[in-house]
Each structure stands twice: as C-alpha cells, then as structure tokens.
Structure 1
C-alpha cells in the first residue's frame, strides 16, 4: 500500500495542535478538506487514530503509537525536500562541464565572456581533461555536459556530433617540410616524432588510421599534453601530430601546420550528456555558445 503523506501530515498537525481549526489554519486548508484527509487515512489504515468529542480531540492507542513514527517520517521527508531544493539552487548558481584542452584553450575564453554577460553571478567550473576523463565526469554527474571525441561508447551517455577536425603535422618554419603545404606519412619515416599520451584520446585515432604503418615511424618521445609537444617542436627536438585546433594555442610561435595525406586522419567532436538528464538553463546557454564557436 502506498504511503498517504497528506493524511499523515493532517494527522500530525491535528495531534500537535489539538484542534481541527488550528491544524487547518496551519496547513492552509479548509476544515472540510482536513477532515477528508483524516478520514481517508483512518479508512486506509483500518483503525481509528483520533477520538473526537464536542470539547476536545485525543489520540487513541493506535494514534499514540503512530504519532512518533509519523513525525519522524515527515521530518525525514522535509529534510530530503530541503536538500533537493538546495541542490537545485546550487545548480543554478554554478555550471560545470568538461572540455578537451585544445578546445578549451582557444574557444572557451570568448564563450565565457558572452556567458558572463548573460549570467554574471553564475560560477563556472571547467574540467579541461582528456576525452575518457570527461566522459566519466559526465557519467558521475560532476559535469553537466562534455565536449569530447565521438568515440566514447556507454549505455548511459548520449553523444551528438558537432564537427570533424583534421590532424596536422607541426613543424618549425625553418624545417624543410614547412614549404610543402602537405606531407605524406611515408615522408615521416626516420624523422623524430613526439607522441601524445594515449589518455588524450587522439592517439588511438591515429594508430587505427595508420594500421601497421605506425610501426615504421620513429616515435622517439612521448608527452602528456599537446602544449608540451608543441613547445618541443619549437625547440627543434622533433615533429608532432596534433588536432588542427591545437595550432591556436598561444606560446608556441614560429610553427607551421601541414596537411597530412595517405591517410588523412580526422576526429569527430561532439557533445556528451547523461541520458535522461536535462541541462540547467546556464548549461544550455554555455553549450550553445561553445557549439557556435566550433561550427563557426
């Protein structure tokens, strides 16, 4: 049998105030509506809870047994409701989302400026993490959405593609490749290359596209972040393959991005959300700004 919370609320109010009139005023109900709730509760339970006389209302033995339990149940329910209200308020006061570092570094500053104009009092938490970490944060509910690589597969996540982005070869302006405009992978054999950690999510896409050909390349260095690889290229340590958006990251002047051919490698960027969960209004607006930047 379902719990009659409205009936229990009426019972506790009457028992604590000793009067239908005062209980009705407390609950902002008419005495008729209050009496209906009380009668329905007693009929559902099959016992009388209140003994009514013309002068006073007293509790029956069943009512005396039920009252402390009903108080505790109503208090727990009220506490849960207050907690949910607090979470909803906090959600409106802060938006948290995940974003790949290469996208966060170039596209987010402009989006954040526009977001601040619309929501000046809403705090923003950005998880500029790897693709796998972003998916996990969205699954756990710590991030409302994520901007990542469309390669994550999980039953509780929805992924909506935004755009495709090519991988490019980074080299210094003084490198012999710089004037070519494009480079075949076969031309890279013997050239020291800087590889990005597999946690970044891009490495698997490159390996899958190259197949066994990747074993012929000289992957001499491995780093964790694109910015580190770009800085090493600027020092002439080697060349690296990165998403084209990485070229927008500041701090590495004098670099040239070359198109890679045979094969060309791309990654699909998309929005990751939890299935069945709606975004807060600030998160929806933030996502709209980011998508406009990426599609522009």
Structure 2
C-alpha cells in the first residue's frame, strides 16, 4: 500500500493545532489545499478521521487511533534523515581507502602530506590490507577505492590497471649470488628461496608465470610479510623473491635486489572502485595523488 505522507502530515498538523487555519498556516498551504489532502487521505483509508464544525475540529475514534502512530512515523523519518545528514557530513570530513601494505609504506607518506596541504583537516583513513580484504572493503562501501593487485575482478567493482611492478631476488651482500647484475630463474635451481604467502596474491602470480618450473625450485620458506622475508635473508637463511617496491620498507644496507628474467615476472597494480558510483571530490584528488606517486615510484626504480 502506498503511504500518503502529505496527507498524514496534514492530519497530524490539524490534530496538534486544533484548526484547519492554524495547520494551513504552519504548512504554508491554503485551507483549500489542506482540505484536499485530508479528503484524499480519508478516501484512501475509507475512514473519517476528523469532524469539522464552524468552531472546532474533533478527531473520530479512527483519528484518535491513527494520531500516535502517525506521529511515530514522522519521528522515525526525522531520525533517519538526521542519520543520513550525519553520515553525509562525516563523508565530507574524511576519505577512506584500501592499500597494499608495501604500496602504502612506499607511497602514502608523501601522498598524505600533499593531500593535507590541499585539504587541511580532512581525515584520511588507510586500510593497509591484503588484496582480498581491500576488495571486501570497497565492495561493502567501507572504503571509497583501493590500491591493489590486478587479478580476477568482482562483478560490481571497476578495475583500472596503473603500473607493472617486477619481482626481484633479494640476497645478503655476503651471499654467493649478490654480485649478479641479473639472474634467470633457471639459475636459482637448488637455491633456498623465501616467498610471500599466497594470501597476498604474489605466490599465484609467480606460479602462473613460471608454470612447471616453479615446482622445481626450492621454496623452503613462506612468510606473510616482506619484512619477515628480508629478516631471513639477513640471517643468510635463504634468498627472497619479493615485489620491487616492497624493498622500500626495509633498510638496504646489507642486502641487494637482483632483477629476475627468463621470464620477467611482474604484478600489475591498479585501482578498484565500486562500479557506477563516482568518488567524492576529495577521494578523487587523493586517488590522483596515489596514481602519480605509483608512476613516479616505478620510474625512479
């Protein structure tokens, strides 16, 4: 059943003020327009709600039953609208994004500094999570956009590739392969290797690129984070295969990064947003700063 909101509003106003004249003045309507609204409401309900005489307006039993319920409808509607206004104000005062941890550490300090210089007090919230967690947050609306690995996309998300980032071999400066200008994957046979967990998406990319060769390599160690992988390298336990930008989160005093070839394995970094939903102006500016930083970071390396 279609709810006659204007009719209910007219009814409540008349009941609370006791006259059509006072109610019409309150609603900025003519008494004729107000009478039309009441008549339409009563016809839709097949009930008489008001008895109008030259001196007063009286509620019928049906009107008495309706009044508290109608008031509750408008109270709940007012609360809902205020909640929406509050949500809109909060959205204007902050930007929420998702970002891979390695990209966040490399790019976000400079990006946020530039953003603050432009917007001042707008709050920036960065969810530095895995690719799947970033997709979840964007999909649910908890983040406006995400910086993540380009992979199989979800139907309700838009994916925009930005840059390709190569994987490199990290080793301690005292280890045998440290002096190589580059290495083919075939030269890693028998070398103890550390890789980042499949939960990040990196392992799948490497396995897909190498095919059966990946199974012949000595993946003796698997960790969740780059800093852990590098700590194993520093202990001379093995060599780590990590995305190149990830090395910016650790000191390079005692480690070196060696390009890998035959094949060159890369991961594509991109931006995900909700399909068909434009970003807020502040979020769009933040995204533009992130994209520029990604391009500059890859070019610098």
Q: TM-score, normalised by structure 1?
A: 0.92
For structure 1, the residue ranges without an aligned partner over 5 or more in a row are: none
**What is the aligned partner in structure 1 of residue 265 from structure 2?**
265
Classify the secondary structure of the residue corresponding to 1:58: strand
**What is the aligned partner in structure 2 of residue 190 from structure 1?**
190
**What is the aligned partner in structure 2 of residue 5 from structure 1?**
5
Indicate how the Cα distance of structure 1 residues 24 and 119 shifts in structure 2: closer, same or farther if over 3 A, else same.
farther
Indicate how the Cα distance of structure 1 residues 66 and 107 shifts in structure 2: closer, same or farther if over 3 A, else same.
same
**What is the aligned partner in structure 2 of residue 206 from structure 1?**
206
Classify the secondary structure of the residue corresponding to 2:194: strand
Matches within 5 A, 1:22-33: 22-33=22-33
Confirm or deny that 1:108 pairs with 2:108. yes
Matches within 5 A, 1:129-144: 129-144=129-144
State how many pairs are aligned.
296
**What is the aligned partner in structure 1 of residue 51 from structure 2?**
51
Q: Deviations over 1:89-110 (max 9, x none)?
A: 2222222211001100010000
Q: Deviations over 1:212-263 (max 9, x none)?
A: 2112111122211012212322332221111111122243433322221111
Confirm or deny that 1:288 pairs with 2:288. yes
CA–CA distance in 2 between the matches of 1:34 and 1:193?
80
CA–CA distance in 1 between the matches of 2:25 and 2:252?
71
**What is the aligned partner in structure 1 of residue 163 from structure 2?**
163
Matches within 5 A, 1:249-264: 249-264=249-264
Contact 2:209/2:263 (<8 A) preserved: yes
Q: CA deviation at 1:28?
A: 4.1
Q: CA deviation at 1:33?
A: 4.0
User: Aligned Cα RMSD in Å?
Assistant: 2.0
Contact 1:135/1:152 (<8 A) preserved: no
Q: Deviations over 1:104-151 (max 9, x none)?
A: 001000010011122322222211111111111222222221111111
For structure 2, the residue ranges without an aligned partner over 5 or more in a row are: 297-301
CA–CA distance in 2 between the matches of 1:30 and 1:294?
62
Contact 1:234/1:252 (<8 A) preserved: no
Classify the secondary structure of the residue corresponding to 1:171: strand
**What is the aligned partner in structure 1 of residue 84 from structure 2?**
84
**What is the aligned partner in structure 2 of residue 74 from structure 1?**
74
Classify the secondary structure of the residue corresponding to 2:211: helix
Contact 1:195/1:240 (<8 A) preserved: yes
Q: CA deviation at 1:36?
A: 3.7
Contact 2:97/2:125 (<8 A) preserved: yes
Classify the secondary structure of the residue corresponding to 2:237: coil
Per mean C-alpha deviation after superposition, the further-off stretch among 34-43 and 259-268 is 34-43
Contact 2:164/2:268 (<8 A) preserved: yes
Q: CA deviation at 1:32?
A: 4.5
**What is the aligned partner in structure 2 of residue 18 from structure 1?**
18
